[in-house]
Amino acid sequence: MHVIQVDSLTINHAGRVIFRDLRWSIDDQQRVGLIGANGAGKSSLFRAIMGLVTPDKGAITRQRGIEVGYLPQEVILPAGQTVWEAANVLPPALAAVEAELRRVETALGDPAVYGDEAKLTRWLARQESALAEYERLEGARHEGRLRDTLTAFGFAAAQFALRTETLSGGQKKLVALTRLIMEQPTILLLDEPDNHLDIEAKRGLEKVISSYPGGVVIISHDRYLLDEVVTHIAALEDGKLTLYPGNYTAYTTERELRRLRQHQQYIAQQKEIARIEAAIARFEHWASIVVDERHIKQARSRRKMLERMEERGEIIERVRAPRTMDMQIAGWRGSAKMLEIQRLAMGFDDDLLFCDVTMLLRHGERVGIVGGNGVGKSVLFRLILEELTPLEGVIKRGPSTKIGYYAQEHQTLKVWAERTAIERLRDVKPMTENEAVAVLGKFALGYAQACQPIRTLSGGERSRLQLAVIMLSEPNLLLLDEPTNNLDIPSVEALENALEDFQGAILVISHDRYFLDQMVDRVVELRDGAARDYDGGYTDYLAAMGAALTK
């Protein structure tokens, strides 16, 4: 059932039209993945639905009694509360019943009530009715549901007492999401709930969303998550929203079929328009030679035919490829053994991250590093880069190994914060300013972004700049720490294409399971201080883990 209606919505931001005359009906039984390039207006659409942005035109209507829960990208939790306290909220109906039971309890303790048989009977009847409603709403199971939801999101019972100010960004988002789940609104609007989550937390997120009794609209660049949980894809592109049935994989197939059909129809219509325009020119030419009202009318009739097609919106648009990166990382062969790690141990103070880690990376191999947050994946990269010294063990690089490093938090750009992207590229490789601008253009960075201080760039823009630096440095070993975190789906797909053609070895830390399935042929899991090897991509790793658990 359609419970939210978006009608002819137009929003401008800083002089730019984000979308115009957008229409959308949101169903209370669908789980929809809202996708689109960075800057397409996905978050703005959510904020408009929540009344946080005033549209320039159009209206958003809700059915009476509809509750909408909203999870923004950046979550702020009240300080001084525990995880349990911050997450524990009653659904409105249950809260009303508990308030009624408290009123009844107060009344039954009043001598004026329990000393008056008629009043006592009425209050006991109210109590019976409230208790029946409490039972119908499964009020006694509320704390159990809260505990189960927090556990599904990876919180151990001992962590329920943690203060909210000690939590990571991903944990804060999960606490806020738990709160929404417990409120049970009719529709959940979730803006990138999977950001900064490890794989285990993402799997818990999938289970919770899949079992949610209401409608869910989720903005996400995680294609694996979109494959697992959504029933529809809403694609926001060029200011227009198109709904596709099925998950992300089904969407990609249907999108290509629609684009092919649109291209064929465009070609056929352009031929017909060209034929009509040729006829108009012919009749106008004849009319200029011989004054003949019949030729003039025929030309006018055909011109009106074209005008009516435009007025009715029947002109088929040319299929436009999405603007994204056009990158190539050539690489080169180098040593047969690119990297060798022997009996590596590392920790800080009394916290031992891992011990006896041994790994061999050969030329051409693509290896994914997985594990929960805090197990030492990024620390392993810093050890390879010689930014840290291990407690024990040896790291050997091949004599011709040249590393290209992508830092999760863009640390490689920190010393360049006040300089421009053009200056950063010209430091890597001698080139003119125009040549640097051309390179940046291939990474979907325009002239304005190229000339402003790097600190002012968005996360996605800094990610693309890091990739441009890596491309120019011509490495043969890539260390990639969460390279897809700030990229939209078209950019991730462009990165995958570039890595497919890369002539070298790749070691990548990622929580992007779809990306791992596409890119790696071996998975190394860091868990309980040890490293374990699994052949294949993420799906193969998952199958091996499942088989191990059933033994």
Report whether pLDDT(303) > 90.
Answer: no
pLDDT tier at 517, thresholds 50, 70, 90: very high
Q: What is the side-by-side strand order in the sheet with 351-362?
A: 351-362, 337-348, 392-397
Mean pLDDT (whole number) for 542-546: 84
Asked whether the whole model's pTM tops 0.75, one would answer yes
- At 406, is the pLDDT very low, low, confident or very high (cuts 50, 70, 90)? very high
What is the Cβ-side half-sphere exposure of residue 186, based on CA atoms within 13 angstroms? 14
Cα distance between residue 489 and residue 35, in whole Å: 8
Lowest model confidence (mean pLDDT) among 60-64, 138-142, 379-383? 138-142
- Lowest mean pLDDT of 19-23, 92-96, 246-250, 425-429, name the range: 92-96
> Which pLDDT score, from 0 to 100, does residue 250 have?
94
Question: Average per-residue pLDDT in the chain?
Answer: 88
Run of H or E residues at 266:
helix 248-289
**Which pLDDT tens digit goes with each residue over 344-399?**
999 988 789 998 899 999 999 999 999 888 889 999 999 999 999 999 999 999 88
What are all long-range contacts of 421-426, with beta carbons under 8 Å and residues at least 24 apart? 421/445, 421/449, 421/450, 421/451, 421/454, 421/457, 421/465, 421/468, 422/450, 422/451, 424/454, 424/465, 424/469, 425/468, 425/469, 425/472
Q: What pLDDT, on the 0 to 100 scale, is given for residue 119?
A: 85
Q: Answer yes or no: is pLDDT of 66 > 60.
A: yes
Q: What is the pLDDT of residues 173-224, one digit of tens each?
A: 899 999 999 888 999 999 999 887 888 888 889 999 999 999 999 999 999 9
Average pLDDT over residues 506-529: 92
User: 239 is written with which tokens?
Assistant: 């200011």
112-116, 291-295, 407-411, 512-516 — most confident range: 512-516
Q: Which residue has the higher pLDDT, 12 or 230?
A: 230
Nearest to 87 by CA among 172, 166, 179: 179
Alpha-carbon distance 294 to 296, whole Å?
5
Q: Is 299 helix (H, G, I), strand (E, B) or coil?
A: helix
State yes or no: pLDDT of 142 exceeds 80.
Answer: yes
Burial (0-12, 13-18, 19+ Cβ within 10 Å), 414: exposed
CA atoms of 534 and 540, how far apart (whole Å): 8
Express as a percent the part of the chain with pLDDT over 90: 46
Mean pLDDT on 505-528: 93
CA nearest neighbour of 483 among 501, 470, 472: 470
Q: Characterise 246 by phi-psi region: left (phi > 0), alpha (psi -120 to 50), beta (else).
A: left
Residue 292, pLDDT above cutoff 90: no
Average pLDDT of the residues in 80-95 = 88
**pLDDT higher than threshold 80 for residue 120:** yes
pLDDT tier for residue 291 given thresholds of 50, 70 and 90: low
- pLDDT computed for residue 525 by the predictor: 94
Give yes or no for residue 70 having a pLDDT over 70: yes
The answer on pLDDT for 321 being more than 70 is no
C-alpha distance from residue 549 to each of 148, 516, 527 (Å): 21, 22, 15
DSSP 77-120: PPTT-BHHHHH----HHHHHHHHHHHHHHHHHT-HHHHT-HHHH
Read off the pLDDT of residues 19-34 as tens digits, 9 standing for 90 and up: 888 999 999 999 999 9
pLDDT of 133 reads 87
